[in-house]
Amino acid sequence: MERDSSMHNKSNIYLTVRNSAVLYRRKKPVTYKKITRWYSMADNYNKLLIEHLPLVEKYTRKILRSMNAEYSEADVDDIQQDVFYKILTKGIEQFRGDSKFTSYIFMITRNAVIDYVKKRDRVSLVDTDDETVQGNMSMKVSDFTDLFINEVEMEEVIQLVNHEVGSMKEDYRLIFKMYFVDQETQKDIACMMNKSQSTISEHVENIRRRLRQALESRFPEMKKGIH
């Protein structure tokens, strides 16, 4: 690689890593320091991955536009965050070499856009005072119950869940957001939080139990249907 282009790439990487750090604020375990360390430890293949990260933003915007999807800057940031995470954690091993590497990045970005749009369109949660669960998040109440809940009740359920989650300890709030809202897998959450998968699984069950109890206590007549 030419020296100039190498320097240019390094500058791109620096910007990418810095931006990644900003984007990853909410997923605390993945930090500027961590990405930098990954880069320094990465073999050539994974360096190739990291060097392609600047493409992600271009692809994200282009794909959203080509799909005529409504989006905001925050949506673009969130999608990039997902793509960075997938690229940096799953690395090269899933690339089979059937296409150009840029096409592979295109595929990952496109899939992330589709997943994001799907998630965003689920029932919106209203704001809470806690920044972990703040903002335009979504969740499916059927993750806790299979009850039929009408629109008026749904509003109350959402407030109840928000209140309950807001009163949980920080780890639980983070897991709630990652598992029930962002729909990360327990394995990925364990990796991000540097905990074992069984610990995460236990925490998820505890969260689910607390939310179920809160719902049962508010809607006792529906208790029979809750599982």
Partner 1 sequence: MHSERLRRIIEAGPCKIDMEQEVLGVADGTINSENTIQQVFAHMAECDSCRYLYEDYFATHDNDGNLLEEGEREETVELGMKLEPGSIVPLAADFMVEGQQAAVLSGEAVSMAEYRVPAGDDTVNVKVYPGDDTVSIHLSTPGDGDRVTLISAGSMETATVEKGIARFENVVPGRVLLVINMRHFVTVKIEK
- Six token digits for residue 172: 């639980």
Q: What is the 8-class DSSP label of residue 181?
A: I
**Candidate list 2, 70, 93, 129; residue touching partner 1; CB under 8 A:** 70
Question: Is the C-alpha dihedral spanning 194, 199, 205, 206 positive or negative?
Answer: negative
Under the binding rule (CB under 8 A), the answer on residue 69 touching partner 1 is yes
Q: Which residue's CB is nearer to partner 1, number 8 or number 118?
A: 118
- Partners of 124 in the beta sheet? 138
- Total residues interacting with partner 1, rule: CB under 8 A: 26
Contact call for residue 104 and partner 1 (CB under 8 A): yes
**Is the Cβ of residue 84 or residue 95 nearer to partner 1 in the bound state?**
95
Backbone angles phi, psi at 150, to 5 degrees: -80, 175
SS3 percent helix, strand, coil of the chain, rounded to 5, is 75, 0, 25
Closer CB to partner 1, 68 or 150, in the complex: 68
**What is the rounded distance in angstroms from the CA atom of residue 46 to the CA atom of residue 105?**
13
22, 67, 74, 126: which one binds partner 1 (CB under 8 A): 67
Question: 180 with 133: CB under 8 angstroms?
Answer: no
Answer whether 73's CB lies under 8 Å from 123's CB.
no
**33 forms part of the interface with partner 1 (CB under 8 A):** no
Q: Which range, of 12-20, 38-46, 95-103, 143-151, touches partner 1 by CB under 8 A?
A: 95-103
- Give the per-residue contact string, 107-146, with partner 1 (x = CB under 8 A; - = no): x--xx--x--xx--x-------------------------
Q: Of the candidates 6, 11, 89, 102, which one interacts with partner 1 according to CB under 8 A?
A: 102
| 165 contact partners, CB below 8 Å, separation of at least 6 | 128, 130, 133, 172, 173, 176, 207, 211
Q: Which is nearer to partner 1, 59 or 219 (CB)?
A: 59
The least distance separating partner 1 from the CB of residue 165, rounded to whole angstroms, comes to 26
**Which residues sit at the interface with partner 1, rule CB under 8 A?**
58-59, 62-63, 65-70, 95-96, 98-100, 102-104, 106-107, 110-111, 114, 117-118, 121
